[in-house]
């Protein structure tokens, strides 16, 4: 009795192609793709998702192992698709960085920075807090399931081996960046009004009482009032952001 295992190399190559798309996207996702996340955990999640999608999508791949150039082309093609999907989700988080920078500047905390796990660099402390809160809410509201749906639908939007519509991909990235900037300014709008009125009041006070050290009164007061405003509006801010990122993820999963 002989067992035919000639199909194993082609199956292994197909699994690697599936893993290339999923692993690249996962590397860029907020929350799961952070540098603070242990490498083994990220790798385990990517392998588990690849094993889940492999029996569903392996028929979409046509591989000729005798043609190494084709295999390498497919591998690069899958990585590019993963970058497009992951970068779209990553860029949507920039809205909170914009909002956090504006809020911190208006509160007088623009000089206070901390390492933002979602960006891997120093950012305003308020922006870091908002980013961590947003990642928590994404998992709490089950929006991460839309990421899995987007991976499944990506095989219909970006078929393996098909030419990537560069114009559509660029339009998607541009729309995401523009939307992130718009939402970031909208989230920080109460603090822009607060900063304008507060600084105007300090200016009037300094003209009425030139001998008063306005800076030593204004900075602690702006921080206190800023935190009170943040406490009052943070629910609406995060609700608006969750709606925004939910709409972005639903665009990536139109068939689910």
| Contact assessment for residue 69 and residue 45, using Cβ atoms and an 8 Å cutoff | no
**Six token digits for residue 169:** 């991909």
Q: How distant is the alpha carbon of residue 226 from its chain centre?
A: 26
- Structure confidence at residue 118 (pLDDT): 57
- Structure confidence at residue 57 (pLDDT): 81
| Contact assessment for residue 127 and residue 94, using Cβ atoms and an 8 Å cutoff | no
Q: In a 3-state reduction of DSSP, which class is residue 6?
A: coil
Residue pointed to by tokens 């192609």: 17
- Contacts of 139 by beta carbon, 8 Å cutoff, 6+ apart: 31
**pLDDT string in tens for the chain (256-residue length):** 555 545 567 788 888 888 888 888 888 887 777 777 778 888 888 888 888 888 888 777 777 777 778 888 888 888 888 888 888 888 888 888 888 888 888 887 777 666 665 555 667 778 888 888 888 888 888 888 888 888 888 888 877 777 777 777 788 888 888 888 999 999 999 999 988 988 888 888 878 777 777 777 888 888 888 889 999 999 899 999 999 888 888 888 877 6
Residue pointed to by tokens 């190399």: 9
How far is the C-alpha of 145 from the C-alpha of 139, rounded, in Å?
9
Axis crossing angle, helix 68-92 with helix 166-187, rounded to the nearest 10: 20
| Alpha-helix runs per DSSP H in the chain | 8-28, 39-57, 68-92, 94-107, 125-140, 144-157, 166-187, 189-208, 214-252
């Amino acid at each position: 009795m002989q067992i035919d295992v000639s199909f194993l190399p082609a199956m292994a190559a197909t699994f690697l192609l599936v893993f290339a798309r999923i692993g690249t996207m996962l590397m860029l996702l907020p929350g799961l793709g952070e540098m603070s996340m242990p490498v083994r955990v990220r790798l385990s999640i990517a392998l588990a998702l690849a094993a889940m999608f492999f029996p569903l999508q392996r028929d979409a791949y046509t591989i000729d192992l005798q043609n190494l150039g084709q295999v390498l082309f497919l591998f690069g093609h899958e990585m590019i698709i993963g970058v497009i999907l992951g970068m779209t989700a990553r860029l949507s988080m920039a809205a909170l960085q914009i909002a956090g920078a504006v809020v911190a500047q208006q509160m007088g905390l623009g000089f206070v920075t901390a390492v933002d796990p979602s960006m891997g660099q120093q950012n305003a402390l308020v922006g870091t807090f908002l980013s961590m809160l947003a990642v928590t809410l994404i998992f709490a509201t089950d929006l991460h399931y839309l990421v899995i749906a987007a991976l499944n639908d990506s095989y219909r939007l970006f078929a393996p081996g098909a030419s990537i519509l560069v114009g559509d991909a660029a339009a998607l990235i541009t729309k995401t960046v523009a939307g992130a900037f718009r939402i970031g300014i909208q989230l920080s709008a109460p603090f822009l009004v607060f900063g304008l009125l507060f600084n105007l009041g300090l200016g009037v006070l300094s003209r009425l009482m030139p001998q008063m050290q306005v800076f030593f009164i204004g900075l602690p007061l702006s921080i206190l009032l800023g935190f009170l405003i943040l406490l009052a509006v943070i629910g609406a801010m995060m609700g608006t952001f969750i709606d925004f990122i939910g709409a972005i993820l639903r665009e990536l999963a139109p068939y689910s």
